[in-house]
Structure 1
Amino acid sequence: MLGAVVGALSLSACTLEGSGTAKSELRELDSFDAIELGGVFTLVVHVAPGTTQKVEVSSDDNIVPKILTTVSGGELDLSVDHRMVHPEHPMKVEVWVPSLTKIDASGASKIEVTGLHGERFELDLSGASQSTLAGVVDHFELDSSGAAKLEARALQATTVELDLSGAGHAEVWASDRLDAEVSGAGKVRYWGDPKQVNRDVSGSGSVEPG
């Protein structure tokens, strides 16, 4: 019993509690066209050619300074400089960029991206991430594991290549070709009436038209 009490006190001491006072902060960063994040972020990305890059970080005023936004090799890395945080206001990062080619997300992040365009966009999801994508691209590539969910019916792609494992769920749009590899209980629904659909399904997974 004493050990449990000590453990609970230790955990409480390691947790940064949100103050309850909301704060937003604009940050000037080097240019990037890819984003990596983990944990429990809400990420909103607005993509538009010619737009001026901008990054706004929001949460409790004592948590915002702990949200790290580091750019290296053209990739924005979002992380928290504290072992455990308990915010009263969600940890939200809102981004405006002229182009975006990739997002790599883990944990339980929520992601919304609008205005995607260009030759290629790649999305890597793991854990319980939830994502919504919109735009027009030539090729969309998805690698998803765990219980991640993707809503990408509004992302009109010519070709889609996806690898879905675990209990994930993905909704995609392809006009020409869909290559889908599904294992576990993963489920894929597709729109766009693609001319070619290649399925490789194992376990109780499925690939079906929407």
Structure 2
Amino acid sequence: MFGSRKKAAEFERRIEEYHQALLRVAQHVGVDIAGQASGERAAVVICDGIDRLVGKEPIDTKPGREERPISASVRKIRLSGAVNITVRQGPEPRMEVFASSVSDLSKVLTTVSGDCLTVDNEPMMIITSGRGVSQIITGNVGAISMSGSIINAGRNIFRQGASVEQRDEPPKLSVEVTLPCVSSLRISGAGNVLYQDMQLDDLLLDVTGAGNIEVSGKTTRLEAEVSGAGNIRGFDLVAKHSRLRVSGAGNIKATATESVIARVSGVGKIKIAGNPSERDTDVSGMGKIRFVDYLASVSAN
């Protein structure tokens, strides 16, 4: 019993030391934290005070949206990073960028070179401990060394340049694109692409990493490849002729109405709908190729 009281007293003493330390930091910064309901709120007030002292703009938490220029000549889209893209087929080219806050819009990087649009985000590294604590480091980070304890109540830690920011969750970044003819989609990273209701002669889909592509519409010839742990969901894309390849642990779901060539190496899977009469399949490893019944939402005629 005496030992428990001693530990409780020591714990209370440590809490009071931390409280007094926060008060001293707040006084030095020039803010008042006496009325704050929690230590987290007090820390936010102190960080805001530091930002004002160094001339840093406060984070704008309102959802962000901006329109960026794009040419109708773009035929290919390449995604590198953790951004979600929605592609629509239409005569008027348009590109809109969305972020969970206005301050995060600049993190979405869009560049056009020739007929290719590349979408990326600022470099981001997510470190997760075994107890579920995430640290997300973005921007031009040289090196970080840590010793001792970091107490982080219910938030992620973002380090950007020479500053540290705390947020409830990683930024949500997305791009919506309307173009007359996008015939190539490539993903390297962990992003997602949704391509809806398109009609093309030829379509190339390529996923390297853990990204996902979902497509719907009609095409004469489909070429789809997954290397890594990504997925291509294309049952609602009606193709006459399909060439499909999976290497690694990825998956492809595709529809072919006349012919299909399918290859799997590794533990990946390919599922084929459309009941094609010409079938050329080969599996090396523990993977699988299956022909399935699926009624596509797009007519094959």
Q: Give the alignment's TM-score, normalised by structure 2.
A: 0.61
Identity among equivalent pairs (%): 28
Q: Where does residue 177 of structure 2 map in the other structure?
A: 95
1:137 counterpart SS class? strand
Over alpha carbons, which structure has the higher Rg? Answer: 2
Match of 2:232 among 147, 150, 159: 150
In the alignment, the residues of structure 1 paired with residue 88 and residue 246 of structure 2 have an alpha-carbon distance, to the nearest angstrom, of: 26
Is residue 80 of structure 2 the alignment partner of residue 38 of structure 1?
yes
Q: Where does residue 106 of structure 2 map in the other structure?
A: 65
Is residue 155 of structure 2 the alignment partner of residue 113 of structure 1?
no
Deviation at 1:89, TM superposition (A): 4.3
Deviation at 1:105, TM superposition (A): 0.4
Write the letter of the residue equivalent to 2:89.
V
Q: Where does residue 27 of structure 1 map in the other structure?
A: 68
Deviation at 1:181, TM superposition (A): 1.0
Deviation at 1:77, TM superposition (A): 0.7
In the alignment, the residues of structure 2 paired with residue 109 and residue 65 of structure 1 have an alpha-carbon distance, to the nearest angstrom, of: 17
- Asked if 2 retains the 8 angstrom alpha-carbon contact of 1:22 and 1:89, the reply is no
Write the letter of the residue equivalent to 2:87.
V
**Distance of aligned partners of 1:81 and 1:88 in 2 relative to their CA distance in 1, 3 Å threshold:** closer
Write the letter of the residue equivalent to 1:20.
T
* Structure 1 alignment gaps of length 5 or more: 1-17
Across the aligned residues of Structure 1 and Structure 2, the Cα RMSD in angstroms comes to 1.6
Is residue 268 of structure 2 the alignment partner of residue 186 of structure 1?
yes
- Asked if 1 retains the 8 angstrom alpha-carbon contact of 2:83 and 2:121, the reply is no
Q: What are the superposed Cα offsets for residues 97-138 of structure 1, whole Å, 9 maximum, x if unpaired?
A: 111110110111111101222210001101111121001000
Paired residue total: 191
2:106 counterpart SS class? helix
Write the letter of the residue equivalent to 1:23.
G
Match of 1:47 among 47, 67, 89: 89
Q: Which structure has more helix as a fraction of its residues?
A: 2
2:172 counterpart SS class? coil
Deviation at 1:149, TM superposition (A): 1.0
Q: Which structure has more strand as a fraction of its residues?
A: 1
* Structure 2 alignment gaps of length 5 or more: 1-58, 125-137, 140-157, 159-168, 293-301
User: Higher relative contact order at CA 8 Å, sep ≥6: structure 1 or structure 2?
Assistant: 1
